[in-house]
Structure 1
Amino acid sequence: MDKLLVVLFLLFTGFNGYAQTGKSDSLLNVLKTELRKSNLYDQAKQTHIDRLRTQLFCADTFNFHTQFRLCEQIFEEYHSFKFDSAFVYVRKMINLSSKFHKTDDLVHSKILLGTILLNTGFYKEAFDVADDIDSSGLSDTRKTDYLILRARLNAGIAEYNNDAYFSGQYYQQSQADFKTAETVTPSNAFEQTINLAFLPDSVKQRRLTPDFFFNTIIHHPLTHHGIAMVSTRISYAYTGYDRIMFLALAAISDVRSSTKETLAIFLLGQELYKLDKTNDAYLLIQEASHNARFYGTRNRAVQIETMLPLIAGKVIDQKQHEKDRLLIGLLLFLIVAVVLFFLLVIYRKQMQRIKENERMIKEKNGELEKVNGRLWESSRIKEELIGLFFKTCSSYIETLDRIKQRTLHNIKLGKYKDVTQFLEDVQVDEEKENLYTMLDTVFLTMFPNFIISFNALLKKEDQIWPKSGDTLNATLRIFALIRLGINEQEAIAKILGYSVSTVYTYKMRVKSRALVPAADFEQKIMEIKFIDSYDH
């Protein structure tokens, strides 16, 4: 047995536990693989034929047996491969048999001629050949071959006519010829086992399953062409996936034997079409059509040409349905994409609004923090200044009270000269300077970086530094009051004891030398940090 056949058997016997659907699908996959290698099988067959033809060309023309054997071998290669060539060599066999008066070989050759005419659809010509054979005096082997030819002819013409009245008569004659052939040459054990497949289902024993017949075919020593013929015959006993299993095995064997007069692949395409496996059916029917044209099978070509448009139409319908589904899916996708796009746009706008609102909130919070900082700073400054005010006032009230008591005491005693001397000892300017010094000390405590920050606004050569590190000079004192929030020049003049024009002159002189625009100078002064603002 061929190694590939053994591998195939091992492959499929390992699937006994699986459904027949699985087996048929596996066989279909093997068939598709083999179809892709069909050219290699055809080339190998043609190479073998060419060798036989070379031997025939070199054979002795007077040696009947050598010529007849070679013609028969070439015919066997061609009879299921190419009708025209098979016809040529069977005619050579007939001519040789007539020329050398070999009656048995002549009958054998005519039966072979009738067989290929039958396979090709030349029913009338095949009947003419059968009628031309004298069946009397034939050996059992030749008579059996003759009866089988007649039986197949009647079955073939019945199938071709497909008429209820005439086809019935042909089928009856076909059955009668088969029965007669069985009487002349009874079936062997293998053939009897195969015939069990056609028993009624109620009579079949449990062991006569499709797997039983499948394994029987695989184990029996048959050629690829023999496997195809037996598998095709058994397929008529089953339906559905069981039939597909046998037809697929037959089609695989036909491909491997380069059988172009193939019935199995056509029947397999029909079954797959019935089961709505349209794509596979279309592939196989196309292959059957190619084989029919290659071999020259007219009757099969007619059947295929009738079947092919139906399958092609269904394939087109399915593809159109798939196209429609794809278009619907694409349309739904586009709708979803558009909806998502608009949602994304809305979401983006919302996010932008949220971000804008967050930015505005941050700005407002920043402004509020600045306002709170200024309020807090103003509150602290006021606290410090109020404290300074009450402390100073308390000190001056005590001083005035002391002066009052002492003055009244001296007046009561009549010491008017001492009163005058005592009042003259009171140094108003000194007290005023002490007040400024106290004010400077409190201010620099609140704004320790004021002098440095103030001079940072001026050029180095124009910077103003106090002579004492603990007090301010007149210019610095004016801008210190501005930093405390006292902006009116009249108020500054009264506090410092200057005229308004003097205060104005001091301010303009400093602004003219500033590194920043004069209009922005006082704002920069207001930005000088309060001592506690770093920790606030």
Structure 2
Amino acid sequence: MNKIVFALFFLLGSCNGFAQNIRSDSLLRVLKSELTREDHYDQAKEKRIAMLRGALLHTDSTQFNTQFNLSSEIFEEYRSFKFDSAFVYVKKMIDLSERFQKKDSLIHSKILLGSILLHSGFYKEAFDITGQIDTSGLPNALKTDYLFLRARLNAGIGDYDGDAHFSQGYYRQSKEDFKKAEIVTPPNDFERTINLAFLPDSIKQKKKTPDFFYNTIIRHQLPEHSIAMVATRISFAYTGEDRILFLALAAINDIRSSTKETLAIFLLGQELFKLNRTNDAYLFMQEAARNAHFYGARNRAVQIESILPVIAAKLIDEKQHQKDKLLIGFLTFLIVAVVLFFLLVIYRKQLLRIKASELEIKEKNSELENVNQKLWESSKIKEELIGLFFKTCSSYIETLGNIKHKTLHNIKLGKYKDVNLFLNNIHVEKEKEHLYHMLDTVFLTLFPNFITSFNALLKKEDQIWPKSGETLNATLRIFALMRLGIKEHATIAQILGYSVSTVYTYKMRIKSRALVPASDFEQKIMEIKFIDSFPH
């Protein structure tokens, strides 16, 4: 997949300036896409590490080579991923080498320890490690690694100091160590080709353009981490879009190799900031900050923290400038729109007034019709209820009169047992049921669709229907009184002979099962239609 992507980039244009911009922009788009897949690459690395750690755990403690090689593999996985874990395993490599008295392995492990201390900003500790290494009689490979470590350490502390006087000494020592390393182990053809990028323009062959070095990296099919390292190194030979090209390539491969101790994305953010591409600079500098904290690179974190607020401030300024431009454009548009609006208002003033008046009249008529409808409905309900009230009261007054007359008559005659028998035959509950039946009958006359409409607000399994012979049951009767406009719990409880808490419980139980929100349930009850339509 990587080869296909890079091949596509290779085909992008042949014109050096314009094509380079296209290619660097394409790589930046790929880089942003890879940032979204960063967790995927990290998880794959964690799986590899878990497998290696499992293998190490089951290794015989007497087998030096197996233990050392597995520890070395785990270290390499952690080396540019997480400092503290890499430190643990390189210390294990040192301990194994000392225990089994393996001098070359010990020196190799100490060089590796120095390299991660350098990456994390522990310069003094890294210098202490290089001072402990006895370089006499070292194989060329180890001596070269040692010299490269010391060279990078001097260059790193020179960059960190940033002092015109003290840094120069570190830089001189770094160059000397690099030269010594090249004498011990001369560069191969690929390394010599890469070194051509740092020749002066007057000496560098004309064909050695950024395209040449870019294609050289791709053509050699290096591992992803190696691509990132080589591309980062070549980026120092260029500026502007050419440098962005190599730094973007390096940053992409850092993500794919789960490299957190990465210089490329930090340098990319700096270069984009110089070119006033602040949005991208801020995005990549934030990623660099996350990587530095994840790895534990204290020196890099300090560098980032010094420049990130500057980029953020510029980004805020740019956005504010854009907002100001938009505001000016909006105000200009608004002024023109207001002028046109007033011209239109003047032109159609009379017509709009007439239409507004007609609309207002229609609205008022509609409101008046709604009010009249409610008044008429209320009047009809009151008429029926008042009729029921007087009819019921007359009936009960007549009944009370009969009771009084018969009771007094029996008392006068001394027929106390008959009085007691007579009074026991008066069933209050039946009278109450008779009263509720009359009330239900009147209500259902006014609202014949009440039961159906009420149950339409509930799920089928929760619907409440009167039993055979019933008009309304207790639950329906509570909401019937609410439809008549009686909403106080105490009043409803007094009419129906319940406690206030019982009325409240009935209401809450039904609301909790309703198909509509509980807050809208009572309004839906009040919307149940009256029998008669308002006479227009």
The TM-score, its normalising length taken from structure 2, stands at 0.64
Describe the shift of the 1:201–1:351 C-alpha distance in structure 2 as closer, same or farther (beyond 3 A): farther
For the aligned residue pairs, the C-alpha RMSD in angstroms reads 1.4
Q: Aligned partners of 1:325 and 1:352: how far apart in 2?
A: 36
- Point out the more displaced range, 184-193 or 215-224: 215-224
Task: Tell me the residue number matched to 2:142.
Answer: 142
Q: Aligned partners of 1:188 and 1:13: how far apart in 2?
A: 25
Q: Aligned partners of 1:292 and 1:351: how far apart in 2?
A: 70
Q: Aligned partners of 2:334 and 2:352: how far apart in 1?
A: 26
Aligned-partner residue type, residue 78 of structure 2: Y
Which residues in structure 2 correspond to 1:343-492 (within 5 Å)?
343-349=343-349
Q: Does 1:16 align with 2:23?
A: no
Task: Tell me the residue number matched to 2:242.
Answer: 242
Q: Kindly, what percent of the aligned residue pairs are identical?
A: 67
* SS at structure 1 position matched to 2:60: coil
Q: Aligned partners of 1:41 and 1:110: how far apart in 2?
A: 29
Task: Tell me the residue number matched to 2:57.
Answer: 57
Q: Aligned partners of 1:84 and 1:298: how far apart in 2?
A: 12
Task: Tell me the residue number matched to 1:293.
Answer: 293
Q: Aligned partners of 2:251 and 2:176: how far apart in 1?
A: 30
What is the CA deviation profile of residues 321-359 of structure 1, one whole-angstrom value per residue up to 9, with x for unaligned ones? 122222222222221221111111133259999xxxxxx
- Point out the more displaced range, 176-185 or 332-341: 332-341
Aligned-partner residue type, residue 283 of structure 2: L
What residue ranges of structure 1 are gaps of 5+ in the alignment? 354-536
Describe the shift of the 1:350–1:201 C-alpha distance in structure 2 as closer, same or farther (beyond 3 A): farther
Task: Tell me the residue number matched to 1:199.
Answer: 199
Report which of the two structures shows the higher radius of gyration computed on alpha carbons. 1
Aligned-partner residue type, residue 17 of structure 1: S
Aligned-partner residue type, residue 28 of structure 2: L
The TM-score, its normalising length taken from structure 1, stands at 0.64
Task: Tell me the residue number matched to 2:41.
Answer: 41
Describe the shift of the 1:59–1:334 C-alpha distance in structure 2 as closer, same or farther (beyond 3 A): same
Task: Tell me the residue number matched to 1:383.
Answer: none
* SS at structure 2 position matched to 1:221: coil
| 1:11 CA drift (Å) | 1.1
Task: Tell me the residue number matched to 2:327.
Answer: 327
Q: Aligned partners of 2:215 and 2:225: how far apart in 1?
A: 17
Aligned-partner residue type, residue 27 of structure 1: L
Q: Aligned partners of 1:221 and 1:15: how far apart in 2?
A: 20
Task: Tell me the residue number matched to 2:421.
Answer: none
Q: Aligned partners of 1:147 and 1:206: how far apart in 2?
A: 33
| 1:253 CA drift (Å) | 0.3
Q: Aligned partners of 2:202 and 2:296: how far apart in 1?
A: 42
What is the CA deviation profile of residues 287-340 of structure 1, one whole-angstrom value per residue up to 9, with x for unaligned ones? 000000000000000000001000000111111112222222222222122111
What is the CA deviation profile of residues 83-130 of structure 1, one whole-angstrom value per residue up to 9, with x for unaligned ones? 000000000000000000000000000000000000010000000000
Q: Aligned partners of 1:5 and 1:344: how far apart in 2?
A: 62
What residue ranges of structure 2 are gaps of 5+ in the alignment? 354-536
What is the CA deviation profile of residues 471-504 of structure 1, one whole-angstrom value per residue up to 9, with x for unaligned ones? xxxxxxxxxxxxxxxxxxxxxxxxxxxxxxxxxx
Task: Tell me the residue number matched to 2:126.
Answer: 126
Q: Aligned partners of 1:16 and 1:329: how far apart in 2?
A: 38
Q: Aligned partners of 2:340 and 2:193: how far apart in 1?
A: 69
Q: Aligned partners of 2:347 and 2:212: how far apart in 1?
A: 69
Task: Tell me the residue number matched to 2:99.
Answer: 99
Q: Aligned partners of 1:54 and 1:331: how far apart in 2?
A: 67
Q: Aligned partners of 1:167 and 1:352: how far apart in 2?
A: 81
Task: Tell me the residue number matched to 2:2.
Answer: 5
* SS at structure 2 position matched to 1:75: helix
Q: Aligned partners of 1:352 and 1:333: how far apart in 2?
A: 24
Task: Tell me the residue number matched to 2:279.
Answer: 279
Q: Aligned partners of 1:351 and 1:131: how far apart in 2?
A: 96
Describe the shift of the 1:101–1:352 C-alpha distance in structure 2 as closer, same or farther (beyond 3 A): closer
Q: Aligned partners of 1:8 and 1:210: how far apart in 2?
A: 18
Task: Tell me the residue number matched to 2:82.
Answer: 82
What is the CA deviation profile of residues 422-464 of structure 1, one whole-angstrom value per residue up to 9, with x for unaligned ones? xxxxxxxxxxxxxxxxxxxxxxxxxxxxxxxxxxxxxxxxxxx
Task: Tell me the residue number matched to 2:420.
Answer: none
| 1:13 CA drift (Å) | 1.1
Q: Aligned partners of 1:135 and 1:166: how far apart in 2?
A: 26
Task: Tell me the residue number matched to 2:431.
Answer: none
Task: Tell me the residue number matched to 1:518.
Answer: none
Task: Tell me the residue number matched to 1:475.
Answer: none
Task: Tell me the residue number matched to 2:373.
Answer: none
Task: Tell me the residue number matched to 1:311.
Answer: 311
Task: Tell me the residue number matched to 2:66.
Answer: 66
| 1:7 CA drift (Å) | 1.3
Q: Aligned partners of 1:10 and 1:351: how far apart in 2?
A: 69
Q: Aligned partners of 2:192 and 2:299: how far apart in 1?
A: 30
Aligned-partner residue type, residue 7 of structure 1: I
Following superposition, which runs of at least 4 residues in structure 1 exceed 3 angstroms of deviation?
Answer: 349-353
Aligned-partner residue type, residue 4 of structure 2: V
Q: Aligned partners of 2:27 and 2:290: how far apart in 1?
A: 21
Q: Aligned partners of 2:235 and 2:314: how far apart in 1?
A: 25
| 1:29 CA drift (Å) | 0.3
Aligned-partner residue type, residue 143 of structure 1: K
Q: Aligned partners of 1:340 and 1:73: how far apart in 2?
A: 75
Task: Tell me the residue number matched to 1:526.
Answer: none
Q: Aligned partners of 2:208 and 2:319: how far apart in 1?
A: 41
Aligned-partner residue type, residue 110 of structure 1: K
Aligned-partner residue type, residue 226 of structure 2: G
What is the CA deviation profile of residues 257-311 of structure 1, one whole-angstrom value per residue up to 9, with x for unaligned ones? 0000010000000000000000000000000000000000000000000010000
Task: Tell me the residue number matched to 1:517.
Answer: none
Task: Tell me the residue number matched to 2:519.
Answer: none
| 1:131 CA drift (Å) | 0.4
Q: Aligned partners of 1:113 and 1:246: how far apart in 2?
A: 29
The number of residue pairs the alignment matches comes to 350
* SS at structure 2 position matched to 1:121: coil
Q: Aligned partners of 2:103 and 2:168: how far apart in 1?
A: 35
* SS at structure 1 position matched to 2:348: helix
